Every structure is written in C-alpha cells, then in structure tokens.
Structure 1
Amino acid sequence: MNAAVTQEQLANASSSQPHERGLLRFITAGSVDDGKSTLIGRLLFDSKGIFADQLDAISRAKHKRTVGDTVDLSLLTDGLEAEREQGITIDVAYRYFATPKRKFIIADTPGHEQYTRNMVTGASTADAVIILVDVSKVKFGDDGSVELLTQTKRHSTIAHLLQIEHVIVAVNKMDLVDYDEKVYTRIVAAYQQFAQQLGLKDVHAIPLSALAGDNVVTESPKMPWYKGPTLIELLESLSVYEDAHEEPFRFPVQLVARHNGHEANDFRGYMGRIEAGRVSRGDKLVVLPGGHSATVKDIQTLDGSLESASAGQSVTILLDEYIDISRGDLLAAADKAPTALKSVTADVCWLSEDALDPRRKYWLKHTTKQVAARVAKVDTLLDINTQERRAADTLKLNDIARVSINVQAPIAADAYQDIRATGAFILIDEVTHQTVAAGMIRID
C-alpha cells in the first residue's frame, strides 16, 4: 500500500475542513449610555487603531463630554452632529482596526429604543456581539433579585434571532462601584439566567471600565479577583468559520447579460454573487421558482474563465440550456434545492413607527426578488422581559413576533438557521417605500 499523499489529496482534505476566518465582525449593543461608543473608542485608542489627526480632531471637538484635557473617545464613532449634541448614538458607525493576531470590523450600534432598527442592520452581518451592562443602572432588589434593562434584553433577543454565534457580556463602569466583585457576580448570574431562558449558548462575561481602560486592552490591577482574558484577548480568541462555503449552492440572479446583437456568437450569462456553497463546470443546477434543470457551461469573471467558484465571489454563469431566467430567480444545487414558498412563516422585528395594518400591501424583498405580500396573521408576539409568547392583532415599533405572510409569487427560500442569505428578507411599505420589518424565515 502506497503511503505517499498527492498534492490533490492534500487539497481535498483541507477543503473538507472548515476554514477559520482571520476577520471578526462584531457589534456593541445594550441600552442608552451604557458606554458602547466609549468602549470602541478605547479599543481603537489602546490598540493604536487611530491616526494622530483623528485624535487631534476629537480633542478639539466642541461637544466633548469629558473634563479637562481628557479625550472623549466616544466621538471616534459618534460622528453625526446630532449624536454629539445629544450624547447618544443614532446611526450605525463602522470602524476597522487590526492587531498582530486578527483583523476586526466594529459596528457601533444605537442603544436608544427609537433606533433599534439601526441595531438590527448592524447585527445582521455580525459574528459576535458585545452586550454592555451599565452597573449603575441595574436594579438590585432587597430579596437578592437583579433586574436587567429592557433594552439589554431586547438586543440579546435580536442577537439570538439573528443567530450571532458569540455573545460577550461586558459589565461596564465597574469604577462606579469600586470594582466590587459581588456586584459583578450578581449581574452575570442574572444575565446567565436570562440567556439560558433565551437559548444563547456561547456567552462570555468580563468586568471592565471603558472610560478608564480597565480590562479592555490591558489587564486591570484594580480587579485582581478576575482571572479571565481582557476584552481584546477574548475577541482575538473567538473562532469564526467560513460556513457559507460548505452550504448548498445558492446564486440569486441579479442581471442577465447579453451581447448587443451585433456579435456573431450568441451570449447569455447570469450575473450575481454566490451567497452559499460552490459551483463548478458541469454541475447540475435547478432554476427556481420554475424548477427547470440546467448544467453549468462556464463561470466567467473580469479576469477570465474559472473552473469553479465559491461563496462571496461575483461571477457570470453560463448554462448549456436555453431557459427563461430573469432577475430574482435562483440557481441552486439540484440535489439540495430550497423550498418554493407561497406562504412564509417568519420571525420579524417591526422597524416602523407606523403599526402593522393587515389590510395593507407590502413588498417582500428576498435576495434579488421583490414580490407583493400581505401579513396574513400575527401568530404570536414575544414579550421581551419574560420571553413568553401571546396573541396579538398588530405590531408596533420594536415588536418581535412570529407572523404568517402570503406572497403573490413563490420565493425560493431556506430556513434562516440553515442559510442566512436565502432565509432573510425585509418588508417595504408599498406607499412610502420605507423598510418596515426585517424577517427570518422559519421552515418546520
């Protein structure tokens, strides 16, 4: 028996193993004034992730909220004039920084209930979430009970619905309670109980002070009782794998490319971005929602023809067969095709200040397809505090509910927990064109 291993066998073996990504996308979440923007500013400042001119600009800012020459680090992400005037985060701010071990993209999301929709936007692509808990706002009962803020629970619930893999509970402003271990322990126990009720699994807790820099990048001597990693060490250690490459092939068609009519050879290509899986020449596909079979003839990019391509690449796919395919159709693996749905069951976050009107028409935007839709029924409304579900007739701003939606034309969809890209959608108001809800499809 030959013990030699060929290069091809090594390549196949490595491709079958999940690939860990060097880039981590994470968001900060929690209630208003829990210190999210200050924490990100501290991360950037202590990890040398800001330029001298940026530091100089925020040092001279007229809306800084610190005393004396102390730099207001929250201004690194709160860039809007309204944010600086009011001292709150309104829009999502993205920042990039890197350490010798990893690259990061941070989304600083609003804590105010009015801007929960912006938090949902930032969380939709995150691998990890830092839930900040302000020790000065937590209510401690005489009976030993601990009451977390509603917005902390809401953001944790959204993180669970969006299936964010890693949750970090950052108990912030420990300097306000003299770095008391008992206060930290009680808060963490209360959150762990809520997380268990919610179904969160990978939860890490850390005590810190974003303003003073305790346990953010450097270890704090003021909390010798804490034996765990600093925040940056924890972020560097989180495992994030490229699951999209291992999922069944999904390719929403964005554009049909044709020659201009003066070419001798006919050309018909289907342009878009591979959202999941991989594809190679000769692969058997199914075109949905029509259900026609197709064979991959070629895969083209601006750099030339490819033998194969995988999730994240934007390509033009040519087929052997002549089939009526247009924008909004989905090319999928023939042996693992998604379900064509005319009725959709989904968990939704209601993002509009106008309440849901079941008599009203909405547009459902799913991948590259947009279809007319009606919310047929609100099945259950989720109580953020108790995690219990109850009956409801309508939805208002920030409500989270399980709903049934009827669509005018079938959509080819997967369950959100299986493939995010083809399991997510938004609802758009037909009249105002405002996004009113973000949804995650559930298939039993």
Structure 2
Amino acid sequence: MSRAAAPAPHRAPNPLLDRHRAVLPDWLALYYADPLELSHGEGRHVWDTAGNKYLDFFGGILTTMTAHALPEVTKAVGEQAARLIHSSTLYLNRPMVELAERIAALSGIPDARVFFTSSGTEANDTALLLATAHRGSNQVLAMRNSYHGRSFSTVGITGNRAWSPTGLSPLQTLYVHGGVRTRGPYARLTDAEFTAACVADLEDLIGQGRTPAALIAEPVQGVGGFTSPPDGLYAAFREVLDRHGVLWISDEVQTGWGRTGDHFWGWQAHDRNGPPDIVTFAKGIANGMSVGGVIARAELMNTIDANSISTFGGSPITMAAGLANLSHLLEHDLQGNARRVGGLLIERLRAVAAGVPAVREVRGRGLMIGIEIVRPGGDEPDPAATTAVLEAARAGGLLIGKGGGHHTSVLRIAPPLSLTVAEAEEGAAILGRALRAL
C-alpha cells in the first residue's frame, strides 16, 4: 500500500457522530473512519444500526467474556432489577457475599478478602492504596509497556506513553524490564538469559533507594499489545521481592477467568512461589456489567484504618450478573474452550500471515492473540497499516482491536470464550484477506 498521505475519505453524514463530538471530550477515542453504532448482539456476533452483521473478536475490549445476550446473565439481571437495583455497601448484600465467596475460593490466596469496585482502574487504584499503606512507602515498581488504568494514580504507573497523559503522580514509579520478550536490549537472549537479565535489573532498581511498596504487573500486557515474558519470570521476580519485603500485585483485568486457556489466572504461568499478594480483576467477570475488584489476604485488605464504603461497587444487579456469568463459564469449561479453539485460531492466523511482509509476529495464548504490524523489511512499527487492516477487517465483517507500545501497531484479537471452531476459521479467513490487502 502507498505510504503517501491520502486525502480524507468522503464520510456520509452521521448526526450521532456530530453530537458525540459536540458534547464529549476530544480524547475519547473512536474506532474507524466512519464510527460504528452497535444496536444489539447475540453469541459471538453484533449488528450495527445499518443492519450490518459482524463477527466480534474484541468483545467490548475483552469484556463480553462469554457471549452477547447470554440468557443466564440476562435472566439474572432482569430478576434482580425487578427486586432491587441498588443499596450501597452500607447494607448486607447476599449476591455480593456469594460472589466474593466464589472468587476468594478461586483465587488461591489464603484467607482471602474481596473488595468490589466499578472498574479495573478503580481496582488497581485500591490495590495501590492497600500496598502503599501496608508498606508505608509511596514507591512502586511497574513494568515497561504496561497499562493499569486512567485515574491519576494508575496513569502514573503506566509504562506506555500513549496512555499516560501526565508525568505528575502521587507515587514514585520505577520501571522494570521484562514485559516485552521480543523487543528491547534483552530480545536476542535465550529465555533463561532473558529472565536472569530482568531479575538482575530488578535487583539493581531495588538496591538504589528506599524499599518499594509493591511491583504491579500484567501477566500478559493487554493494551501493550498482548506481550508477555517467558513463563516463570514473575516467580523469579517474587524471590527477589520476598527477600526485600516488596508485595506483588498481579493485574488480571484482562488475563483473568481462563482467557489464556492454559490457566484460570495469568499469574499461574509463574506460580512456583504461589499466588500473588494482591490480585485485581474486572472486564469479563460480569459479561459487560461494571464490576472490578481486588483480592488480598486479610492482613493486607484490612490494613485500611479509616472509614470506607462503596456506593456502586458490589451493587446487587452487577453481582447477580457476575454470579450467573461465572457459573456459566465454569459449568461449560470455557477455559478449556479458550485453550482448544484459541490454539486453532493462532495456528490459522500464523498460516494466513506467513506470506505477509508487514507481519512481524503473531503471538498470544488462548483467546488473547496479537498480530504486530511493521514496515516491511524491518522492525519499525506501522500504525497506519495497522489501522488499514482494522478497517479492512470491519469491511469484511470482523471487529478486532488494536494496541501495542507507543505506536498502536498491534492488532488485538480477543473473542468471547465460547467461540466455535467454525467462527475461528471464519475470522482467520477475514483477517487473512485484510492482511493480504497490505
């Protein structure tokens, strides 16, 4: 494709887009030159208001985890809404207690306590509050290329410039190597050498000043382009952290609930030293309802010595959705489906991308797959070509996402975990055509 600047394509009138731009922030991103308005969904498909049908390989940013319009969730929400929508945490809340019990049991954390929030950003915010209060330190270790949310504290620990609009922060953040395996100064090392170099870097950072409160890390970096270190790296980090009394926070907002296929939690790929001190979650747990949360052992969770409540966290209606969705996921072994169908999908995507010079790498695990796009003949990221593939996939009837480092040059593929083999084949074929159009 030509790299020269092209005139802006003609856009048909879109009154809703004009209204959006008139009242919402300029920095509120929209996909596509002609943005979509979705009207409804079913299973792994959605429809726009023009009647076009799409195979959904992004699920509202990994949030429609099981399926669109899942009957069990729809029924649970309707029944709870007919009884009581809201109460706040000032009253006993049976659905909240029941979901907390299930999540605590699934976490692997001994004597676990669960606090519910309304988003992943708020969950990570809470984890930082717990860790810094418990350790008496405002220094935090984070991974390069990371993303942890859009609040004032979480943009301050986000190691991805494209998603961190200010350098001001209540925290002192030090960034550690290791989240990206195939780029950076350690890319050419073997997995064992890579891990050893990253551990040495961590040791060096901790030894330079006051003891940090915690390391926060995504087992697979989501917004960063579905990059991940070799399995076992965070276990090796944990040995260093434990020796210095530094907590480990695993940000499972995108990797939790079996999406990676091999494991229920992303941290389990690194688990020789047991579960993290704190786990954060959100996204898919309630299949689109606003639920996030923090899991920590009682000693850590109860470190807060001031009054606190949550107005919307743990609301009866979102907890009912979470209970129904988690039950469906476990009863239908959607983690196993992510492993089986995700393995097939990544094989198909590697096959269709094999003859495309612009594809640097197809990577991922389970139903969490990234395709990195570069200028042919080198390693330079190509955001324009990435956007072109995103548009071509939509034209072919497939919705995907994008992300990756500072350059947004990775196609992000994360369908609902109930994806069928036929749908995986169909999506790979559409993406193949979109990639070959480059």
Pairwise TM-score range, normalised by the shorter structure: under 0.3
TM-score for the superposition, normalised by structure 1: 0.26
More strand by share: 1
Task: Judging by fraction of residues, say which structure has more helix.
Answer: 2
TM-score of the pair, normalised by structure 2: 0.26
Higher relative contact order (CA 8 A, sep 6+): 2
